[in-house]
Amino acid sequence: MAATSELPPEFIVKIDYDRCRRCKRCVMNCSFGCMHFTDRVVPEHKLCVACQRCVTYCPEHAITVTKNELAYKENANWSPELRKNILKQAETGGILLVGMGNPRDYPILWDHLLIDACQVTNPSIDPLREPMELRTFLGRKPDRLEFVERDDGEIDLATEIEPQVRLDVPVIFGAMSYGAVSLNVHRSLVMAAARSGTLMNTGEGGLHRELYPYAGNVIVQVASGRFGVHSEYLNTSAMVEIKIGQGAKPGIGGHLPGEKVDEDISKTRMIPVGSDAISPAPHHDIYSIEDLSQLIYAIKEATDYEKPVSVKISAVHNVAAIASGIVRAGADVVTIDGFRGGTGAAPMVIRDNVGIPIELALAAVDQRLRDEGIRNNASIICAGGIRSSGDMAKAIALGADAVVIGTAALVAMGCRICQKCYTGNCAWGIATQRPELVRRLDPQVGSARLSNLLTAWSLELKEILGSLGVNSIESLRGSRERLRGVGLDSQTLELLGVKPAGVGQ
């Protein structure tokens, strides 16, 4: 936003000059150019995005950032945000661009679901003293197993099982492309995934060669721009994902501005330095489900049928039927991304108004696949809006095999959700390619923090399983009987397949 804009500042930066020792650390830390130094620190309020970087790093705790309370006169109908947006568009004539997931006050169904626990008739289990199993396998499973008797009288497996990917914790890091995020973010994610026995997802920007040794913990994505996709890339993975849609912007493509395409990104994405990387809205070789099937099998051919293929779609109205088609088209995993999922950049009108809540989409897909008798044929990954281990447990109980965290992972690495990812100025070194900012995130520290988060969530999930009186994740997965709804209307309950709180089994 130009400093000449008529928009009032969103935030006010207050400096306590009695405490300030003029060390200029805030000036160095602010990546949005808000802090100036003449004989003392002078903030340019209009440029502040409330990323909290200066506040966090001021050694004297002399900085506070507050809302510019009366920037817009109070009006219950015309919120400050609406007026701000109109002013911006009146000045620029452009589509409003935003970062991160949908911040609007839509109902969050996770917060209306409660989990059961044992009392008397079935004992709860203490996860610190008894085994508690979270191991999960992603991939297509047969409906049944067959066995043969060998010459020595022992039996052996006759059914050939398609490739499965093992997770020690049912949480996967979400797709965030190298370009949208820094290489240090990819390094942190992949190291944490390796340490915690799970997967990270490259997003659509390819995989930097430096990370090839981590192939076993990587989902490589194939998106509509096909950036960085080549045979070796496909085979440097645990799983391949075809990205059809993203929860934050269903039906919308992507655009990485040329300024971000440096030497390394250029090599990884296989595009010239400085050129815009534009992902088309659709895959131009997929205009139908049968086209998708061709791409699934093309990838399977390219990877020698050794890796599960996932298809990621946004949660839209007809998600259940689409997911069913995807499974029948040959996908081994379906990833559903809810409308609260994050993004580096999306048109605000799409992010805030398109798609459906992941809770309903997940419930609909799981039930549809069961109704059609094909639930075993694919794993379901639930993405977009998982904020805590409680959300994770509820998602698994609704039917997910595993969940995805994107925003939560970024927050663990320092993100303050200031929603300016698309500017390339991320003060925390996450959504940026500016070398002086990128190095703010130390991959050793980032990966340790991510692993800590996964460890904490695993422990919490084990506590939940123990209180439910079960000792394996299979007994939670799809067990909607252990969920109850509060404050939900009967139709929502029916769609979720969950009884209202107060009703017994």
Determine how many CB atoms are found less than 10 A away from the CB of residue 402.
27
The separation between CA 10 and the C-alpha centre of its own chain, rounded to angstroms, equals 28
From candidates 55, 474, 493, 501, binder to other proteins by CB under 8 A = 474
Contact with other proteins (CB under 8 A) among 6, 93, 155, 301: 155
Does 272 participate in binding other proteins (rule CB under 8 A)? no
Strands 402-405 and 171-173: parallel
Q: Does 371 bind other proteins (CB under 8 A)?
A: yes
Residue 255 β-bridge partners = 278
Strands 218-222 and 239-243: parallel
For the bound state, the minimum distance from the C-beta of residue 245 to other proteins, rounded and expressed in Å, comes to 27
Binding track, positions 130-149, relative to other proteins; x by CB under 8 A: xx-x-x-x---xxxxxxx--
75 binds other proteins (CB under 8 A): no
CA 102, CA 81: separation in Å to the nearest integer?
14
Contact 201, 237 (CB under 8 A): no
Report the DSSP pairing between strands 113-115 and 483-485. Answer: antiparallel
Nearer to other proteins, 85 or 479 (CB): 479
E strands, 406-461, in order: none
Pick from 468, 484, 485, 496 the residue near other proteins by CB under 8 A: 468
Tokens of 47: 């440029």
**By CB under 8 A, is residue 472 in contact with other proteins?**
yes
For other proteins, give the closer residue by CB, 64 or 119: 119
Task: Say how many residues touch other proteins, by CB under 8 A.
Answer: 47
Candidates 161, 332, 337, 169; CA nearest to 243 is 337
| Residue 98 · residue 345 · CB < 8 Å | yes
Q: How far apart are CA 359 and CA 394, in angstroms?
A: 9
Q: Which is nearer to other proteins, 93 or 131 (CB)?
A: 131
Judge contact between 63 and 53, C-beta under 8 A.
Answer: no
Considering the rule CB under 8 A, would residue 478 count as an interface residue with other proteins? yes
Token pair for 7: 């928009």
CA angle in degrees (0–180, nearest 5) for 7-8-9: 115
* CB nearer to other proteins: pick between 157 and 349: 157
The binder of other proteins chosen from 86, 148, 157, 349 (CB under 8 A)? 157
Nearer to other proteins, 370 or 387 (CB): 370
Say whether residue 209 binds other proteins (CB under 8 A): no
Site for other proteins in 28-67 (CB under 8 A): none
- Nearer of residues 62 and 483 to other proteins, judged by Cβ: 483
Among 471, 493, 495, 501, binds other proteins (CB under 8 A): 471
DSSP 95: P
Which x/- pattern, by CB under 8 A, does the window 321-360 give for other proteins?
----------------------------------------
Q: Would you count residue 226 as binding other proteins (CB under 8 A)?
A: no
Number of H helices, E strands in the chain: 15, 23
- Give least dist CB 356 to other proteins, A: 22
- Residue 471 CB, nearest distance to other proteins (Å)? 7
Candidate ranges 42-50, 159-167, 171-179, 185-193; the one touching other proteins (CB under 8 A): 159-167
Q: What are phi and psi of 65, to 5 degrees?
A: -115, 125
Please pick, from the candidates 52, 293, 376, 423, the single residue that binds other proteins as defined by CB under 8 A.
376
What tokens appear for 133 in the block? 């199993």
Q: Are 493 and 114 in contact (CB under 8 A)?
A: no
Cα torsion 258, 262, 266, 272: sign: positive
Work out how close the CB of 470 gets to other proteins at its nearest, in angstroms, rounded to a whole number: 4
Residues that bind other proteins (CB under 8 A): 118, 120-123, 125, 130-131, 133, 135, 137, 141-147, 154-157, 159, 161, 164, 370-373, 375-376, 468-472, 474-482, 504-505
